[in-house]
Chains A and B, each alone.
Chain A
Amino acid sequence: MTGPAILLMLCSLVVVWGGLLVSILALRARPERADFPEGGLDDRREDDAITERDT
């Protein structure tokens, strides 16, 4: 490969895959917030189908 092509390939990989790595590490470091406004509680029956027996 030519020098400029190698350089561009490495730069692209560093930016895109580096971005991916940094974003994964950041998410692992802080997966969720610790503080929320009041409310926002989920219905715990998640993934029940939309069933007639509920009504």
Chain B
Amino acid sequence: MSTTTTDTSPPREQFTGQVGFILSAIGSAVGLGNIWRFPGVAYENGGGAFLVPYVIALLTAGIPILFLDYALGHRFRGGPPTAFRRVKKWLESLGWFQVMICFVIAIYYAAIIGWALSFFVYSFTLKWGDDTAGFFTGDYLQLSDTANGGAWFTLDFVPAVLIPLVLVWVATIAVLVGGVAKGIEKANVVFLPLLVVAFAVLVVRAVFLDGATDGLNALFTPDWSALGDMNVWIAAYGQIFFSLSVAFGIMITYSSYRKRRANLTSPGLVVAFSNSGFEMLAGIGVFAALGFLAHEQAVAVADLEGITGPILSFVTFPAVVSEMPAGPLFGALFFGSLAMAGFTSLISILQVVSAGFQEKFGLTRRKAVLWIGIVAAVLSVVGFSTTTGLIALDTIDNWSNNIGIVASAVLMCVFLVWLLRTSPELRYHLNTVSTFQVGRWWYVCVGAIVPAVLAYMLVSRIVDLVQNPYEDYDETYLLYAGWGTLVVLVVGAVLLTLPRWRRDPDSYVAWPPYPPVTTSTTKGAAR
């Protein structure tokens, strides 16, 4: 059976092999959230006891939905719009919804990497001084004082934010122009080992600091009563879900760049456990450092503030670095790690957008990357290098992640598993090309557990956002920047579905055929 019926489509790019794919997928999964989200979430949700729902969530949601993404992208050989359309024509808009999510995330994610680059440079002189909070929001971001009548949106650009942000975009575009093998894969082959080594050095140093054991006690001492709290389980599923870069197109796109006869599930297990392994490393490093900070300030770890999110990285960690012996070195290691982790994720996020446009509009890689990159860079600079950039980032991140991505995942599971009954075909695909066989348990995970947990998260988050203004921000601002983001995602998805495809995506015939034909099998690897 032929793999495609026409030869009008160009050759699809490929990773050079299994290692290149695995490194790139890990580079995508390991991002800012591994470093600044996991430790705080674990600490606030039962400490050591959190690891029980965390591991269960990894096995019942993270890995199954990662396999779902891999199967979709690999079987239907395209970015999300192509892959979903090849499942069912009307599902293309869900693919564009995922592309839109990636586009929106990319424009603010780049800004955080820009901050990390700035702080990498500041580390050498400990430029933030003693008042790290004042330095971050005041001296560095020059944040608009909205509490005292300051504007919610300005075009007052902050050069210290703008310049590294532009550099991030130049580097991102340069990598993506290089293509999958010569750009994305090479960047990951360089940056991922560097990231692991730099972070490992940081963690080893942190655990030998005075007070480190207090921090580790705080992180790992189990509060078993937390296991009876539904919110702790939701937090665990949320952490796994957001951390693995699943259900918004990245893994669909990456797996579409593997050769047809490629192992999917076993590399998927390596990626999933690597992501969690890095989170564990980050948890140990961050809490050892927080224990040291508490020790230096003669307070309990529980009394520290800012143990998660950007405040952990750009306010609390600089305070740690200032107190540490050889602080400039370890500051540079931390912010360098943050920048590398973010960068390898950013290129994967933008590749989803690039792939979608290349495939639908018949653009060359260079043209797609340049156009998308330049538009994204301009929006990124206008929205996030100004005195209101942090507020916009915080708001748009909340809506695009907690509603956009979660809704995308729920819709994906419901449509594929329940409405279109595609899961047996996808499982067959996984098992035919892979060495690790996926059992029927997978149906339960992607058909029941994942959509149920995520639907609960989605509804409770929407109710919360409707009832309580996010972060007590101005309600009109939230209407435009928060709910407006959702409108942009949906309208963008619809508008991008409407144009005609430059190359017919529907003449594609998936391999291996399903239902399977009972002919003899060929021995040996693919040509």
Instruction: Mark A residues whose CB is within 8 Å of B.
Output: 1-2, 4-9, 11-13, 15-17, 19-20, 23-24, 26-27, 30-52, 54-55
Contacts and interface: CB of A to CB of B under 8 A. Distances in A.
B508 interface: no
B179 A12 contact: no
Contacts of B18: 27, 31-32
Contacts of A52: 364
B422 interface: no
A13 B501 CA distance: 49
B129 interface: no
Given A16-B55, A50-B364, A52-B364, A5 B524 contact: no
Contact of A46 (B12, B216, B366, B516): B12
B261 interface: yes
A43 B363 CA distance: 20
A34 B221 CA distance: 47
B13 A47 contact: yes
Contact of A42 (B14, B179, B267): B14
B266 A37 contact: no
B175 to A, nearest CB: 14
Contacts of B13: 46-49
Given A5-B47, A35-B521, A38-B521, 9 more contacts: A1-B217, A17-B277, A20-B274, A32-B263, A39-B3, A40-B260, A46-B13, A47-B16, A49-B179
A44 B227 CA distance: 52
B521 A46 contact: no
Nearest to A24: B270
Most A C-beta atoms less than 10 A away, residue of B18, B284, B521: B521
B10 interface: yes
Contacts of B362: 50
Contact of A5 (B216, B363, B521): B216
B517 A37 contact: yes
Given A23-B266, A24-B270, A41-B3, A2 B221 contact: yes
20 contacts: A8-B220, A12-B280, A16-B273, A20-B274, A26-B436, A27-B267, A31-B263, A32-B263, A32-B435, A33-B261, A33-B434, A37-B516, A37-B517, A38-B520, A43-B12, A47-B181, A47-B182, A48-B11, A50-B10, A50-B362
A20 B269 CA distance: 8
Interface residues of B, number: 67
A46 B11 contact: yes
B259 interface: yes
A37 B518 CA distance: 9
Nearest to B267: A27
Contacts of B525: 32, 34
B51 A11 contact: yes
Given A24-B270, A27-B266, A37 B513 contact: yes
B48 interface: yes
B2 interface: yes
Interface in B18-74: 18, 47-49, 51, 55
Nearest to A17: B277
Contacts of B263: 27, 31-33
Contacts of A54: 10-11
A43 to B, nearest CB: 4
Nearest to B212: A1
A17 to B, nearest CB: 5
B44 to A, nearest CB: 16
Nearest to B51: A12
Contacts of B179: 47, 49
B526 A38 contact: no
A33 B270 contact: no
A47 B178 CA distance: 10
Contacts of B435: 26-27, 30-33
B113 to A, nearest CB: 26
A48 B182 CA distance: 10
A15 B8 CA distance: 48
Nearest to B527: A41
A20 B48 contact: no
Interface in B145-189: 179-182
Given A11-B51, A52-B364, A16 B522 contact: no
Contacts of B513: 37, 39
Name the residue among A4, A9, A50 with the largest chain B CB count within 10 angstroms: A50
A21 B262 CA distance: 21
B180 A47 contact: yes
Contacts of B220: 1, 4-6, 8-9, 12
Contact of B280 (A16, A27, A33, A55): A16
Contact of A12 (B48, B181, B217, B259): B48
Contact of A26 (B266, B274, B280): B266
B358 interface: yes
A13 B259 CA distance: 34
